[in-house]
Structure 1
Amino acid sequence: MSDMIDAPALANDALAGARNYRLLADIPLRLSVEVGSTSLRLAELMDLAEGSVVELDRQANELLDILVNGTLVARGEVVTVDGKFGIRVVDVAATEARLSGIERRT
């Protein structure tokens, strides 16, 4: 008898979860890919011109960081798709790492 009582609650929870997902599914997010970074002094920045090369802190064979709203979610490699750049996801960040960038309010 207890199985019958629990079944509707589970179905309702799944239905509520689907509704919550649909509610969140249309929220726009900013996905960006970080190739590398460096620190420059203002004078060095002002000296940049067309053809200047800025050395970054990442090796050419390293995976690139995939960020969503500034939070690391995965790492990947550059590919081309119909003449445009794309990114192939190679490694998804652990849940703890992905959630560490999200501010929690109580």
Structure 2
Amino acid sequence: MTTHTFPKQAVAAHVDFPEQQAEAPAEPAARPKLDLLDGVKVNVDVVLGRSVLDVKDMMALQSGSVLELKQAIGDPVEVVLNGRTIATGEIVAVDGRFGVRIVEIGAGDR
């Protein structure tokens, strides 16, 4: 048999605090040196499209299956930084690789 020890019950009491004078607003802090972040690497994801599947349909996927996306050809792709959409763009080819031409920055979180 397990026994538990419970802490003493808390007692509520009224406490008066002295009035404080409003302080003059402090001068705005200097902007941090953003160039300190120049070498920091971040992961950027480009979302081509989305689809919703039943688990049954997902389990039936195999090599050669085609997954249809909701987006149409030519629709903008989402540029995502840390899970937040920061821009939209269009898919382009750059030296035999995929690239994204930014169309709108600040596209919002979708």
Give the TM-score of the pair, scaled to structure 2: 0.64
Task: For 1:89, give the aligned amino acid.
Answer: I
**Superposition RMSD on alpha carbons, in Å?**
2.0
Q: Shift of the alpha carbon at 1:22?
A: 2.3
Aligned to 1:30: 43
Aligned to 1:67: 80
Write the distance in 1 (CA, Å) between the matches of 2:62 and 2:41: 35
Identity, in percent, stands at 32
Q: Shift of the alpha carbon at 1:51?
A: 1.6
Bigger share in helix: 1
Aligned to 1:89: 102
Write the distance in 1 (CA, Å) between the matches of 2:93 and 2:36: 33
Aligned to 1:44: 57
- In structure 1, the gaps of 5 or more residues are 1-12, 99-106
Q: Shift of the alpha carbon at 1:28?
A: 2.1
Count of residue pairs brought into register by the alignment: 81
Aligned to 2:34: 21
- In structure 2, the gaps of 5 or more residues are 1-29
Give the TM-score of the pair, scaled to structure 1: 0.66
SS at match of 2:58: helix
